Structure 1
């Protein structure tokens, strides 16, 4: 899951009044294209900025701090109406009959360098804990309230392979530190996670109906080793591992994460993006 003008200053030159333009003069001027005359839409501006920021995008690529702030600024200004969304749309209605609500995904754009898309979550909708290997991700909450919980791996911490979990049958759990565990209500700042920092594993839970726009650079790609992995969470006290100790008062800030298959109750349905058109020239 994120613009300059110059002026010529001719000091010291003698001022000379220019001849007034006539209709004949104007008629000989080349006409500007309609596209140049038309103001760029916010979503087109986002697209153009992403193209520049992720020009050299590959696994593990992190944009410069200047580019990160530039893309964040564009996303921070984005509004639901800029992408054709309102909270009253069918995507966001409460689904009483379903234990786990369906989530709609609106595909905006994808290339080898980056992707853009919007997750539409009804109340209680959940995107379970998952990772973003080798990616820099920008997430913009367009409207609603969402609970975000995210983790980063604890570097060099041993796994729980020595516990009662059989590593030959079940993946070993790894120690992770909580990065974020809070509710966010739009409008709020765009959140950013990095390949090894910022909460690379995260879970979204819709407190109210909400929409979140994700920019991923680069996008998921199984052939390139960027596969989406889901995780189970266990409290720190679940396992006792030699060489791993955390003060009792800090233990709530840590958890053991264990790889799992994609949750069977997770249903993400593709839907048609009906906002302003994105033009890729």
Structure 2
């Protein structure tokens, strides 16, 4: 491999990601060594820019897809994947969104390389499966729909640009999120550890947020108000699909 590839920013990111996530049994933020390695990875990731990946920021009019074809709203550039982590770039067209989805048992790091994204993060609340029995939804839900509901809370909504620090998620925090392109096309470098793997129970699930109300009481404490938001699992939305395109930047070798 050429020397410039071995010293590239993306090579440094991948090398530190391997150091951080190679031992799943210690991948816990309460583990001092893991936490230190995660901080190092975040610091290196903060430095990456579109030019480091040889990606040219796209204008509102430009598109890599010929006009005769229906262009996907989101495309993905694969950079590297191992059992420990995956790394790639998502590119969103103007007005595109990656719908509300989860990352079961996974850490995630997102660094914008051009444009702006809005990220809405949710956490599940701990409540029994039948916890939705006392609340009402409009329109009413079928019994089979209620059985899949989970109470949730909106943890944060933030906008990120290439000058922002990475957005991070863990298996316990901010694990469910939606990503929206703001004011034009955008792209971000994405690390998932470990990668999605349905055979290992790490499949991607999509959700719809439902607002509920209870007729049993007029007084609500903070926890009850948080519980007014519910996640309902749903199929992948028809308006969302992800295409692929070649990655033009330095290769990764580990």
TM-score range, shorter chain: 0.7 to 0.9
Larger relative contact order, structure 1 or 2 (CA cutoff 8 Å, min sep 6)? 2
Matched residue, 1:205: 180
Matched residue, 1:121: 92
Q: Partners in 1 of 2:70 and 2:224 — Cα distance?
A: 34
Q: CA deviation at 1:144?
A: 0.9
| Distance verdict in 2 for CA 1:133–1:248, change over 3 Å | closer
**TM alignment of 1:58-73, pairs within 5 A:** 61-62=27-28, 64-73=34-43
Matched residue, 2:21: 54
Q: How many residues align?
A: 242
Q: Partners in 1 of 2:155 and 2:145 — Cα distance?
A: 30
Q: Deviations over 1:81-105 (max 9, x none)?
A: 1111121379965999999962110
Pairing 1:159–2:135 present? no
Matched residue, 2:200: 224
Q: Deviations over 1:212-242 (max 9, x none)?
A: 111111011101001100000112xx24387
Q: Deviations over 1:227-270 (max 9, x none)?
A: 100000112xx243879x74489948962110001111112001
Q: Partners in 1 of 2:44 and 2:38 — Cα distance?
A: 10
- Choose 1 or 2 for highest CA Rg: 1
Contact 1:231 1:257 in 2 (8 A): yes
Q: Secondary structure at the match of 2:248?
A: coil
Q: CA deviation at 1:203?
A: 0.2
Q: Gaps spanning 5+ residues in structure 1: where?
A: 1-32
Matched residue, 1:184: 160
| Distance verdict in 2 for CA 1:171–1:209, change over 3 Å | farther
Q: CA RMSD in A?
A: 3.5
Q: Secondary structure at the match of 1:160?
A: helix
Q: Gaps spanning 5+ residues in structure 2: where?
A: none
| Distance verdict in 2 for CA 1:259–1:99, change over 3 Å | farther
